[in-house]
Structure 1
């Protein structure tokens, strides 16, 4: 396998790293915490000015039409800097509308590419072990929505959201104007400081064209997993880097604790978990860019992201000793982000159950060959 970047990808990665690193200093993160804001407005404006907010959108709508691999590199840089901006949901939601919506919805995609409107999505109903809580009754012109959307990311600031609705045709992703009549919001803040909102929908009417096809359900799921795992890769990578710097400076019993075998083996376990996530994530992004089926690969990556985030996060906290539980010291922020990402992915147990369900009805080794198990070549 060749994990080297081409020149264009390297340029994107370097630009994203440079852009996010300025906002990821300890001083900048402390100032952001004290501001009480849930979005780094200046950083988001820089993302818009450099086109990172529309990197994955089709060129016909004003985007750069790059692949999931390029978006992965940007999100990894965002995770490393703990950049609180709505990069991935804005793009994945708009890209889903471009791919599965009709021409009447294309102006929405243009508005996403120009950053005139902010998009978000709630994938919780698909990744968590729970029922969809928004019921849709069919009307002559569309759907009548009633129910709740809990913890919608960026629900406090977004204009357009994609949510899951239960219809007679099955579970469908639906485009919801968050300013529509009949929507009540209760705003809050998520684990890592991201703005969220609970929505109560009371007889909200949407046109039939605002319900995307059933094929969009899996597309949104696998792309949401790839995006969140990319951020987790950046979070965990920076977490390990900071921890290695700390254990080389922290002296106990007359020598740096990095020389203790137990600490060395702990950090080796962290590095192995990180690289396992990296290789499986690259494979997933390759398959998405190549248009190959990737549901089992995505679920495997989701499980690895949950497990790696938990394992690396707690090991990093542990070897920091008392500093690990001091919220005036920056390392705790990375654990908060890992926990939030794990919740967004559904948690390792629920994801593993979904992967088991997939394996129970599929007789192909999709993660490796895409061939029948009894096929010989």
Structure 2
């Protein structure tokens, strides 16, 4: 394993750090409220950072999301890259890639992910979906939603053709409630009756459509299960986002405790403060390295589902510890809802919930270990 960024990945990361640092300021975040920053989103897309993910891979995306997390920038970067760009690239048909990827890259097409629980969405009439997904992050920004039905088949739904109601979350993720009532959906990979073999995460595999007759009840063949791949990709990417949130929270705590004095000495001189900060640093590094490993394995075409679960567990379990520490080390200031560190706290807790609480993720990982489905 080599997690050293390539020249392209490092350049993209540095550019993202500059843009997020310049535009995702405390004042702009306060002005945005619970919505997204349209100007920042436009700047990121104009700079080519969304489109670049197709070339720099999941590890490159994790590096970019770390920079977003450090500033808690309110843009649908993670969602549109995971559920849009990477999903369509790996599992979309040639026609879908040609039609959708340019728009996703320039930001005119924004995709959110409605990877709902079992049975939440079903296909009634062919190509028509019904059901409710109570919470879809960044749905209010999205032109499309990637929806999973009760058979884990994936559909692209135009949000303009569905009912979308605003939902407020712990973090200001511009979320919404998605209601489908016979809503038309476009099957990711092509319409029923076509067997499409996507390229897959390793960039290999046939890229042709066999238009022979297919039993409508038979699952389409693909070299990689699209649902499982996108779920693992999302876990890895959002773990990377959590690594950035934690790093930003810890950086603020270090700055505060080094400048805030008590009885004539900086708070950082106290052993208890140092120990809390050291534990938070180790937790943050654990989140980062497990996310890097899962992302690197996907980019290399290796099995990575359990590695993504490991990253998600660290991001959930350790992430909430870090943001609690960041807030605690600010003392009473950390309880101020308007203070920047409180925003990191809200993001950290929201990511904890989005990835699944630590015990749930650990149970899923344990079941894979017991079943012998652990990758090496």
Same fold (TM over 0.5): yes
How far apart are 1:101 and its partner, in Å? Answer: 2.4
Distance 1:207 1:250 in 2: 56
Contact 1:277–1:301 (CA<8 Å) still a contact in 2? yes
Kept in 1, the 8 Å contact 2:132–2:177? The answer is yes
- Residue 29 (structure 1) shift: 2.5
SS at match of 1:156: helix
Q: Distance in 2 between matches of 1:210 and 1:176?
A: 13
Alignment of 1:148-187 (within 5 A): 148-166=132-150, 170-180=151-161, 183-187=162-166
Q: Write the distance in 2 (CA, Å) between the matches of 1:87 and 1:216.
A: 21
Q: 2:120 aligns with which of 133, 152, 167?
A: 133
Q: CA deviation at 1:30?
A: 2.6
Cα distance in 2 for partners of 1:284, 1:74 equals: 15
Q: Which residue of 1 aligns with 2:167?
A: 188
1:243 and 2:224 aligned: no
Contact 2:156–2:186 at 8 Å: present in 1 too?
no
Aligned to 2:299: 289
> Does the CA-based 8 Å contact 1:164-1:173 persist in structure 2?
yes
Change (3 A) 1:297 1:81: same
Q: Cα–Cα, structure 1 residues 363 and 201, in superposed 2: closer, same or farther, change >3 Å?
A: closer
User: 2: CA distance between counterparts of 1:2 and 1:206?
Assistant: 40
Q: Residues 295-314 of structure 1 correspond to what in structure 2 (within 5 A)?
A: 295-314=305-324
Structure 1 residue ranges (4+ consecutive) displaced by more than 6 angstroms after TM superposition:
none
The correspondence for 1:100, drawn from 84, 87, 91, is: 91
Count of residues paired in the alignment: 343
Unaligned runs of 5+ in 1: 58-64, 371-377
Q: How does 1:64-103 map to 2 (within 5 A)?
A: 65-94=55-84, 95-103=86-94
Q: More deviation in 229-238 or 206-215?
A: 206-215
Q: Please give the per-residue CA displacement for 1:6-27, whole angstroms capped at 9, x wherever unaligned.
A: 4332222211110100123323
Residue segments in structure 2 that go unaligned for 5+ positions in a row: 197-219
Q: Does 1:54 align with 2:51?
A: yes
Given that residues 176 and 210 in structure 1 are in contact (C-alpha distance below 8 angstroms), is that contact kept between their aligned partners in structure 2?
no
Tell me if the contact between 1:154 and 1:196 (Cα under 8 Å) persists in the aligned partners. Answer: yes
Give how far 1:269 is off.
Answer: 0.6
The answer on whether the counterparts of 2:20 and 2:71 sit within 8 Å (CA) in structure 1 is yes
CA distance in structure 1 between the partners assigned to 2:186 and 2:255 by the alignment: 55
TM-score by length of 2: 0.86
Deviation per residue, 1:266-298 (Å, 9 max, x gap):
111101111111221111111011010001000
- Structure 1 residue 218: Cα displacement: 0.9
CA–CA distance in 2 between the matches of 1:115 and 1:275?
A: 31
**1:32 — aligned with what?**
32
> Deviation string for 1:99-154 (max 9, x for gaps)?
2222342312333234332211123x3xxxx53311223x4xx3332210111122
Distance, in Å, in 1 between the alignment partners of 2:4 and 2:26 is 30
Secondary structure at the residue paired with 1:179?
helix
Cα pair 1:175 1:210 within 8 Å, conserved: no
Instruction: Output one character per residue of 1:208-239: Cα deviation in whole Å (capped at 9) or x when no partner.
Output: 53589671111111110111111111111111
- 1:3–1:66 Cα change, 3 Å: closer
Once residues 328 and 104 of structure 1 are traced to their aligned partners in structure 2, the CA distance between those partners, rounded to angstroms, is 47
With over 3 angstroms needed to count, the CA separation of the structure-2 counterparts of 1:328 and 1:98, relative to structure 1, is closer
Q: Quick check: 2:143–2:160 contact (8 Å CA) kept in 1?
A: yes
Task: Judge conservation of contact 2:317–2:358 (CA < 8 Å) in 1.
Answer: yes
TM-aligned CA distance change 1:363 to 1:151, over 3 Å: closer
Is contact 1:132-1:164 (8 Å) kept? Answer: no
Cα distance in 1, alignment partners of residues 329 and 228 from structure 2: 39
- Contact (CA 8 Å) 1:40, 1:84: kept in 2 or not? yes
The aligned residue for residue 223 of structure 1 is: 233
| TM-score (ref. length: structure 1) | 0.85
